[in-house]
Amino acid sequence: MTPSLRRFMAALCGLAIISAISGLLFVSAASAQNKSLKARAAPTAKSHVRRVPQPWVPNPSRDAYLIVDAASGRVLASDQPDEPRYPASLTKLMTLYLAFSALDSGKLAMNDALPVSINALNAPPTKMGMPPNGTVVVRDAVMGLVTRSANDAAVLLAEALGGSEEHFAEMMTAKARQLGMSSTVYRNASGLPNPEQVTTARDMARLANALLRDFPHYYPVFSVLSYNYRGRPLANHNRMLASYAGADGMKTGYTNASGYNLVMSAVRDNRRLIGVVMGGNTAFQRDRLMAELMDQGFATAEAQNISPWTSPHVPATARYSAANFVAGLDPVGLSGFTKAEPARALVPAAIAGSWVIQVGSFANSKAAQAALERATASLPASIRSHGAVSVDEVQVSDKTLHRARLTNLSQQEAIDGCKKLSQHKIYCSALQVGAWATTR
């Protein structure tokens, strides 16, 4: 064979080898693609697991806030009001909205005894301390939510109204849509961590406004600083009630993911503002920011000559009042709400100027007297000189309680005195009392 022929044959062999390798690679790639297509056509059970997107950073370093005028809805200050946030215990405002609605519709009665389920009993803290295998009346469950922010109370009410907490959360989300809360989704009744349970500062302001508008007869319960349950006080987590002039509700919230949240309302110079702060680094920082924003909001409202707050009427459908939760709470006296005409009277008119500081209800008169002595020692002399101490008996369900009060005060004395006591960790309520409330 000539050299040229040998070179020709070698070239042919090289081409054959390259062709063979290319064919093998093609087959291998086709096989791999086929397997991939088959895998997508017939996914495994694992591929059905839905990944929950988390497009925002939990507990962002920058607060979201919104300050609005309650009467006009005008925004007075805002920053990131539409950014998704975790609501934490602000969730309970919707739980309370549905509970108030159920009371007025007759689905719940104030003294209904709700059975304590395993789910409620095992709810993570914070709790109000329900009796195992026992019952809790609706009044106590609602006040446990308002003051202690009790997760067991949230589960209890959710199961009573929805059959299960999961179904109740669907009811909460549906109500949110009706109220215009387009960015809010609920997955539980308490606000315990769930990556799908989200809201915004704007939506929380809408909910706060709805509570003021739809349930003025219940709204004063948000001002209660302490509620006695089974012989122990449930202290309100909202310290703005005692530290910010004009504050009269609503709710705090905290989880690691949410940061420190607060929804509040306050009245000054016949104007009512609603404030929302979400994502605070500490409770102190959150409250300080809220106070600054509300102060600015009231100044802006005055400068812009915004129309004064028009008190909503108690609806004719109301079956109870705040006084049914805590004796002495009067929608007329405490929060400036007016009764509708010709709506039936829910609470007899209170005696003008008759205000008290209530420091608790106790199992015996000695404990009540001791609480009064401690409280009066912490009050300014100007308030002590006007007030008179009183321990009276009230019947709650089948129990006799001894109510400790400093009576005969003006509205301002009662409010200022209660704020002073709260600074000394003495929890109390400033109440306007009518003749009807002294014999209960």
Selecting among 28, 47, 92, 397, the annotated active-site residue is: 92
The whole-angstrom separation of Cα 325 and Cα 322 is: 5
- Pick from 223, 304, 226, 299: which is nearest to 268 by CA? 299
Active site (annotated) includes residue 47: no
- Where does residue 157 fall: left (phi above 0), alpha (psi -120 to 50 degrees), or beta otherwise? alpha
Active site (annotated) includes residue 38: no
Selecting among 127, 149, 339, 420, the annotated active-site residue is: 149
Name the token pair of 194.
Answer: 């769930």
The whole-angstrom separation of Cα 34 and Cα 126 is: 55
CA 238, 243, 244: angle at the middle one, nearest 5? 95
- Pick from 204, 217, 202, 241: which is nearest to 312 by CA? 217
Residue 354 has phi, psi (to 5 degrees) of -95, 95
Residue 114 has phi, psi (to 5 degrees) of -95, 130
Selecting among 22, 28, 89, 378, the annotated active-site residue is: 89
Active site (annotated) includes residue 385: no
Task: Determine the 3-state secondary structure of 97 from DSSP.
Answer: helix
The whole-angstrom separation of Cα 52 and Cα 132 is: 36
Largest CA distance in the chain: 131
- The catalytic residue positions are 89, 92, 149
